[in-house]
Amino acid sequence: MSERDIEGKAALGQDDKGGGATIRIVLQRVNARGCSSAVLPDGTVLVTGSRQPLLDAARMLLKLGCSPNT
């Protein structure tokens, strides 16, 4: 299973510029048809299987209350 770390911004703390903290989203391939899951490093599953897991994970973070302005 391949993994790839992608960093995004969310309002969970402060970075060096006064914005949001960095959230690391780990993408894991689910099957050979291009579906991947998206999880946080602590094991929280954001998306179980999607062809656009990064976008779906961002939508889930918005639903969980992360600020879109960061």
pLDDT at residue 37 in the model: 95
pLDDT at residue 52 in the model: 96
Phi then psi dihedrals of residue 54, to 5 deg: -65, -45
- In the chain, % helix, strand, coil (3-state, to 5) comes to 15, 40, 45
30 within domain boundaries: yes
14 within domain boundaries: yes
pLDDT at residue 30 in the model: 92
45 within domain boundaries: yes
Separation CA 21–CA 52 (nearest Å): 23
8 versus 56: the higher-pLDDT residue is 56
- Determine the length of the chain: 70
Going by the DSSP 8-state scheme, the letter that residue 58 receives in this structure is H
* Residue pLDDT, tens place only, 10-48: 333 334 455 567 888 999 999 988 899 999 999 999 999
pLDDT at residue 17 in the model: 55
Q: How many domains does the chain have?
A: 1
70 within domain boundaries: no
Domain extent at residue 50: 3-63
69 within domain boundaries: no
68 within domain boundaries: no
